[in-house]
Chains A and B, each alone.
Chain A
Amino acid sequence: MTGTRTPRHPARTTPDGVASPPRAAAPAVVLLEDVHRRYSNGRVSVQALEGVSLTVRAGEFVALVGPSGCGKSTLLNLISAVDRPDAGRVVVCGTDLAAAREADLTRLRRRSIGVVFQAFHLMPNLTASENVALPLALDGRRDDARVARLLDRVGLGARGDHYPSELSGGEQQRVAIARALANGPHLVVADEPTGNLDSHTGVEILDLLGELHRAEGTALVVATHDDRVAARADTVCALRDGRLAGTPAG
Chain B
Amino acid sequence: MILRALWLRPTVSRPLRFLATVAGVAIGVAAVVSTLLASRAAVASLGADVEVVAGQAALEVRRPGGVDPAVLGDLRELAGEALIAPVVEDVAHVPALGDLARVLGVDVLVDDGVRAVELDFGERDPQEALDAWLLGRGVALSRGLAAELGAAPGDALEVLVRARPVALDVVAVFAPERFASAWDRVLLVDLSTAQELFARGPRLDRLELRPRTAWDPDAFAARVAERLPDGYRVAPASARRAEGERLVRALEFNLTALSGVSLLVGVVLVATTLATSIVQRRRAIALLRSLGASRAQLARAVLVEAAAIGTLGGLAGVAAGWGGARAALAGVRTTVATVAPEALAGDVRLEPRWLLLGLACGLLASLAAALLPLREALRVPPVQGLRQQLAAGPARREHARRALLLAALAAGAVLFARLPPLEDRPIWALLSSLLVLSTLLVLSAPLIDLVARLHPVHGALGGRIATSVRVAQAAVSAGRRRAAWAAAAVGVAVGLAVAMATMVGSFRTTVVEWTEQAMRSDLFVRPLPTSTGVAAGGIDGEVVAIAGELFGPEALDPFRATTAYVDDRPVALAGAAFGTVSGRGGVPFLDGRPSHEVFAEAARTGGAVVNEPFARRFGVGPGDSFELETAAGRVRRDVVGVYRDYSGHTGRVVLDREDYLGLFPDDGILSLAVYLPDAADVAAARAQLAAALAGRFAVEVLSNREIRGEVLAVFERTFAVTVALQLLAAAVAGLAVITVLGALVRERRGELAVLRTLGGSAGQVLGVVLGQALLLGAAGALGGLLVGLVMGYVLVVVVNLQSFGWTLQFVPPWGSLAATVGLVVPACLLAGLVPAMAALRQTPLEELRELG
- Could you tell me which residues of chain B, from 272 to 314, have a CB within 8 Å of some CB in chain A? 283-284, 287-295, 297
Chain B's closest residue to A133 (CB) is: B2
Residues of A within 8 A of B290 (CB): 80, 82, 109, 115, 121
- Could you tell me which residues of chain A, from 97 to 142, have a CB within 8 Å of some CB in chain B? 102-103, 106-111, 113, 115, 117, 119, 121, 123, 125-126, 130, 133-135, 137-139, 142
Residues of B within 8 A of A133 (CB): 2
Which of A82, A107, A109, A137 meets B381, CB within 8 Å?
Answer: A82
Smallest CB–CB gap between B27 and chain A, Å? Answer: 29
Known: A110-B291, A121-B287, A125-B5. A41 touches B384 (CB 8 A): no
CA distance A77 to B290 in the complex (A): 10
- Could you tell me which residues of chain B, from 1 to 27, have a CB within 8 Å of some CB in chain A? 1-3, 5-6, 9-10, 13
Q: Is B758 an interface residue (CB 8 A)?
A: no
Residues of B within 8 A of A126 (CB): 2, 5-6, 9
Which of B1, B288, B295, B391 meets A41, CB within 8 Å?
Answer: B391
Q: Is A17 an interface residue (CB 8 A)?
A: no
Q: Is A6 an interface residue (CB 8 A)?
A: no
Residues of B within 8 A of A179 (CB): 291
The answer to whether B292 and A111 have CB atoms under 8 Å apart is yes
The answer to whether B392 and A109 have CB atoms under 8 Å apart is no
The answer to whether A109 and B6 have CB atoms under 8 Å apart is no
Smallest CB–CB gap between A183 and chain B, Å? Answer: 8
- Could you tell me which residues of chain B, from 837 to 852, have a CB within 8 Å of some CB in chain A? 852
Residues of A within 8 A of B5 (CB): 125-126, 130
The answer to whether B852 and A119 have CB atoms under 8 Å apart is yes
Smallest CB–CB gap between B571 and chain A, Å? Answer: 63
CA distance A135 to B293 in the complex (A): 8
Smallest CB–CB gap between A76 and chain B, Å? Answer: 7
- Of the candidates A80, A82, A83, the one having the most CB atoms from chain B within 10 angstroms of its own CB is A82
The answer to whether A138 and B295 have CB atoms under 8 Å apart is no
Which of B6, B294, B382, B852 meets A82, CB within 8 Å?
Answer: B382
- Could you tell me which residues of chain A, from 133 to 174, have a CB within 8 Å of some CB in chain B? 133-135, 137-139, 142
Residues of A within 8 A of B288 (CB): 134, 138
The answer to whether B388 and A39 have CB atoms under 8 Å apart is yes
Chain A's closest residue to B851 (CB) is: A119
* Binary flags per residue of A82-97, CB closer than 8 Å to B gives 1, else 0: 1100000000000000
Known: A77-B384, A77-B385. A125 touches B9 (CB 8 A): yes
Smallest CB–CB gap between A41 and chain B, Å? Answer: 6
The answer to whether A135 and B292 have CB atoms under 8 Å apart is yes
Q: Is A73 an interface residue (CB 8 A)?
A: yes
Chain B's closest residue to A115 (CB) is: B290
Known: A82-B382, A117-B383. A138 touches B293 (CB 8 A): yes
Which of B291, B392, B852 meets A196, CB within 8 Å?
Answer: B852
CA distance A109 to B384 in the complex (A): 13
Known: A123-B287, A125-B10. A82 touches B384 (CB 8 A): yes
Q: Is B219 an interface residue (CB 8 A)?
A: no
Known: A80-B384, A82-B290, A110-B292. A125 touches B13 (CB 8 A): yes
Q: Is A191 an interface residue (CB 8 A)?
A: yes
Known: A115-B290, A126-B5, A135-B292. A73 touches B384 (CB 8 A): yes
Residues of B within 8 A of A41 (CB): 388, 391-393
- Of the candidates A39, A42, A102, A191, the one having the most CB atoms from chain B within 10 angstroms of its own CB is A42
Chain B's closest residue to A139 (CB) is: B292
Chain B's closest residue to A102 (CB) is: B295
* Binary flags per residue of B579-606, CB closer than 8 Å to A gives 1, else 0: 0000000000000000000000000000
Q: Is B109 an interface residue (CB 8 A)?
A: no
The answer to whether B1 and A42 have CB atoms under 8 Å apart is no
Smallest CB–CB gap between B580 and chain A, Å? Answer: 78
The answer to whether A138 and B852 have CB atoms under 8 Å apart is no
Known: A123-B284, A125-B10, A126-B2. A106 touches B384 (CB 8 A): no
Q: Is B400 an interface residue (CB 8 A)?
A: no
The answer to whether B292 and A106 have CB atoms under 8 Å apart is yes
Residues of A within 8 A of B852 (CB): 119, 196
Residues of B within 8 A of A80 (CB): 290, 382, 384
Chain B's closest residue to A130 (CB) is: B2
Q: Is B395 an interface residue (CB 8 A)?
A: yes
CA distance A101 to B835 in the complex (A): 42
CA distance A139 to B392 in the complex (A): 32
CA distance A102 to B290 in the complex (A): 13
Residues of A within 8 A of B385 (CB): 77, 82-83
The answer to whether A123 and B295 have CB atoms under 8 Å apart is no
List 9 interface pairs A-B (beta carbons < 8 Å), by A numbering.
A41-B388, A42-B395, A107-B292, A109-B290, A109-B291, A110-B291, A117-B383, A133-B2, A134-B6
Task: Rank and list the top 7 A-B pairs by shortest CB-CB distance, nearest first.
Answer: A110-B292, A82-B382, A125-B9, A109-B292, A137-B2, A106-B294, A77-B384
5 new A-B contacts, CB < 8 A, other than A125-B284, A137-B1, are A42-B392, A110-B294, A113-B292, A125-B6, A134-B288
